[in-house]
Structures are given as structure tokens and as C-alpha cells.
Amino acid sequence: MSGKIPVTVITGFLGSGKTSLIRHLLQNNQGRRIAVLVNEFGELGIDGELLKSCEICPEDGEEGSNIFELTNGCLCCTVQEEFYPTMQQLIKRRDSIDCIVIETSGLALPKPLVKAFRWQEIRAAATVDAVITVVDCAAVASGTFARDPEAIAAQRQGDDSLEHETPLQELFEDQLACADLVVLNKTDLVDLETKLEVEELIKQELPRVVKIVESNGGTVDASILLGFQAAVEDNLDSRPSHHDNEEDHEHDEEITSTHLVLDRSFDPEKLQQQLQQLAHQQEIYRIKGFVAVPNKSMRLVMQGVGTRFDRFYDRPWKVQEPKQTSLVFIGRDLKPAEIASQLVAL
């Protein structure tokens, strides 16, 4: 029997660029046979579709497909329902797999997932090669997912009852604390001084020396991402978490997702403006999906982090594929009816 299958866990907050990183890895796999597990927050399977459109992986349903979509919530909460049987399937095919990559939900804690690799049935056949945390440089620069130590100290002096850490800040810190490598993504959106400030903020959250590599669009060489041999499941004590003393962790129940599937096309500029307006009106963290564009034979990918958007055409519409616009919204206290009404009226 061959050695253990190395597993790379890709974590990072919503919109940090995890899917782009994995897509680039699949397109530049350097001959490696990579199985991918995708954990979606939301029900449309957008990330899985984006990975399939890289044209490296077999079509859904073909024998030998290496993409598994785990769609029912945070992976660290569903490992007994979906993760375990999926890993069993992959272990049976270990002779045809060089490594496994797991993309966690942007709201997932990485440490509970790594603990699952201590289960005897998995431990004997697979090991966590590394945890890689992807960070959106521009988002951190805006103060969205990082603490400002000086500002917090001032707040504490002014108001002893103030809650200084939000659940999102704790999540950001836990993802960094578990990392073997940090990919600082979207560095092209900030200047050099800002980038250096973000790097310093990240270093303050790291409990040990961890390499930080820069990236634009997730273009990181496979040789940097794979082959750490860290056996992460054996050294979790060096990766502190806010939830270490809890038997189980609870997610922020107010963070939810909603989705829309519309049988119509949109002008990309007008749609983006409307989505940006919605992001101002509601606390929307992430918007992602596919858009049908008038007189275009290709599918448009539209992704937003807050009010910052990017878009690109990923592939032609298939012959029997309905040209629909499908969007997922992730945020706090979402109002699905208002989102739907504004887009339908556009």
C-alpha cells in the first residue's frame, strides 16, 4: 500500500480568493493528480462550477471526476455527514491521486476540520500536508478583518463595557493561527506602503514564524503550495484558537446566504451598479455568480467583496444549458425579498 495521501487545506475569509488559487493550481498542476473537495456556503455550487470550468477536470457526472461539492453549511460542522464518506471514496482511489485539496467555506474554522484527520480510518491513509490561509490584502487594509491594536486600546480606556472583538475578527485570527503559509492576495489593489502595513498586521496575529507570499488573482506556483509535510493533525497545540476550550463551536446565526436564479440577461455595468447599491443598503459580505449577457455567447462570472467587484467571461454557454443569471449573496440579516425585487426591476 502506498504512503499517506497529502491533504492541503485552503482557508480564508469570504472573497479572499481561495477558488481562484485552486483554479490556478489545477491549470498549472505540473503533472499532479489533484482531487478537490469544495465546501460551499449557499446552495448554488458557484465555486464548484468555477473549478470545473478550468477545463482540467472531468465534467460533472463523468467517471473519475475529482470534484466533490459539500453544500450543506460549514465543513467543520458537517464532517460526519459528508466529509467522512467523501474521504472514504478518495482513499479507495489513493493509487490514482497524488494529493487532495480542500477549500473550506469562508466562514469555516480550519482547526475542527484538521482534527477529523485524527480519526483512525482517515489517519491511516491521509495526512494534512499544510493549512494555507488566503488573505484579501485590500480588505484587511480597509480594516474589515483585522484588529487595530492602538484603536482598541483607546476604546478600552473609554468604555470598559465595549465588546472589542467581533466573531468575524475571531474567525480571521483563527484562520491565521492555523496557517503553515499565508497567501497575501490582491496586492495589486493597494500601494507598497499599505501592503507592508497589512503584512505587519498579519504577523501580529501569527503565533509562530510563517511565510507570507504575495499573489494577484491566486497565481501561486504549485511547488510553493504543496509538499510541506507538516502533519498538521499531530501538532495542533501550536495553533491556538478562540474555541479551544469549547466542545463545539457555534456560528453566527445571523450570517446567512440567499440566492437568485433569473431566466434573463443583464447589462453587466447596470447589474454591477445595482449590486453595489445593495451592498451599501444591506450588510452583504460576498456576492458571486454567473450572469447571462445580451448578445454574448459566453458566461460572465461576477464576484463582489463588499462594494468591490470583478468580472470575467469563463466559458461559452453549453448547447443545452439555460442562459440564466444565478447569484449567491452572503451576509448578516439579509433581506432576500428586497434583493430579489431590486434585481427583477432592473
Give the pLDDT of the chain (346 residues) as one tens digit per residue. Answer: 358 999 999 999 878 889 889 888 888 888 888 888 876 555 555 566 666 665 544 444 444 445 554 443 333 333 335 677 778 888 888 888 898 899 887 777 888 889 889 988 889 999 999 999 999 999 888 877 654 445 434 543 554 443 434 467 888 888 999 999 999 999 999 999 999 999 999 998 898 889 999 999 889 999 999 999 999 999 888 887 776 665 554 555 566 788 899 999 999 999 999 999 998 899 888 888 899 999 999 999 998 887 888 898 988 998 888 999 999 888 888 899 999 999 998 8
Residue 225 CB coordination number (10 Å): 22
| Residue 127: predicted pLDDT | 95
**Whether the predicted model's global pTM rises above the 0.85 cut:** no
- Laid out side by side, the sheet with 325-332 consists of 255-262, 325-332, 283-291, 298-305, 308-316
| Residue 277: predicted pLDDT | 92
Residue 158 CB coordination number (10 Å): 8
| Residue 41: predicted pLDDT | 54
* Residue partners of 139: CB distance under 8 A and separation at least 6: 13, 15, 16, 145, 186, 305, 306
CA 170 to each of CA 22, 164, 240, 242: distance values in angstroms, whole numbers, following the listed order: 25, 10, 11, 7
CA 28 to each of CA 46, 59, 191, 218, 219: distance values in angstroms, whole numbers, following the listed order: 21, 18, 28, 12, 9
Please give the Cα distance from 84 to 103 (Å, whole number). 15
Which has the closest alpha carbon to 213: 237, 174, 187?
Answer: 187
DSSP 61-83: TSTT--EEEE-SS-HHHHIIIII
| Residue 63: predicted pLDDT | 40
Helix (H, G, I), strand (E, B) or coil at 136: strand
| Residue 286: predicted pLDDT | 82
Residue 171 CB coordination number (10 Å): 24
| Residue 218: predicted pLDDT | 87
Please give the Cα distance from 151 to 153 (Å, whole number). 5
